[in-house]
Amino acid sequence: MLSKNCFRLYTNKFLFKQLCGSKINLPVKSQSGGSFSRSIYLSAVMSVERIATYEEVVALTKKPSVLLIDVREPSELQQLGKIPTSINIPLGTVTDVLQNMPKEQFEEKFGRPKPEPDTEIIFHCRLGGRSAQAMDKAIQLGYKNARNYKGSFEEWSKKNQENTQ
């Protein structure tokens, strides 16, 4: 059970935005009355409006109106596959690519226009953790419509296996 202080943190949008992208220790009270501290990575993905659903991503594979960015390493894509219409920008290069890569070079490399600050972007990885970090980086760079596909490739591949059987 989260303490009152922790609840205040989640409901105070100003404080939440200031701490976004930080690893913090939160006080937690157990049901038996004891308390302990839990360390978490505070991400903007905790905000419901920042989460993309499987159904939204399926729609993008048919009509890619939103930029879908896979932040896994290229070797992971080769080994596991990829979501159709996604482009690969590994997590370690997201900031540099979004901030410094010229528009012409971006379009030449990825076959899509470089996103503008108001472009809708959905990040994904294998399990949702790295994509949450990428989304936070994009938001810090001014991409206000960045979201995270929390289910990521794990959910995508599982649901697509079920649909093809």
Q: What is the pLDDT along the chain (165 residues), one digit of tens a residue?
A: 344 444 444 444 555 555 555 555 656 665 666 666 555 555 544 555 789 999 999 998 888 889 999 999 999 999 999 999 999 999 999 999 999 999 999 999 999 999 999 999 999 999 999 999 999 999 999 999 999 999 999 999 999 886 543
Domains and CATH numbers, the chain: 4-42 (no CATH), 48-164 (3.40.250.10)
pLDDT value for 23: 57
Please report the pLDDT score of residue 149 as a whole number.
95
pLDDT at position 110 is 97
> In this predicted structure, what is the pLDDT of residue 161?
83
- pLDDT the model gives residue 14: 54
Instruction: Determine whether 116 is exposed, middle or buried from the number of CB atoms within 10 Å of its CB (0-12, 13-18, 19+).
Output: exposed
Residue 17 is predicted with a pLDDT of 53
pTM for the model stands at 0.72
Compute and round to an integer the Cα radius of gyration of the chain.
Answer: 18
**Which pLDDT value is given to residue 163?**
58
pLDDT at 68: 97
Q: Is 20 a catalytic residue?
A: no
Please tell me the predicted confidence (pLDDT) of residue 38.
54
Which pLDDT belongs to residue 48? 58
Angle 96-143-69 from CA coordinates, rounded to 5°: 65
Q: SS3 letters for the chain?
A: CECHHHHHHHHCHHHHHHHCCCEEEEEEECCCCCEEEEEEECCHHHCHHHEECHHHHHHHHHCCCCEEEECCCHHHHHHHCCCCCCEECCHHHHHHHHHHCCHHHHHHHHCCCCCCCCCCEEEECCCCHHHHHHHHHHHHCCCCCEEEECCHHHHHHHHHHHHHC
Catalytic-labelled residue, pool 60, 94, 122, 125: 125
Task: Look up residue 116 and give its two tokens.
Answer: 């503008």
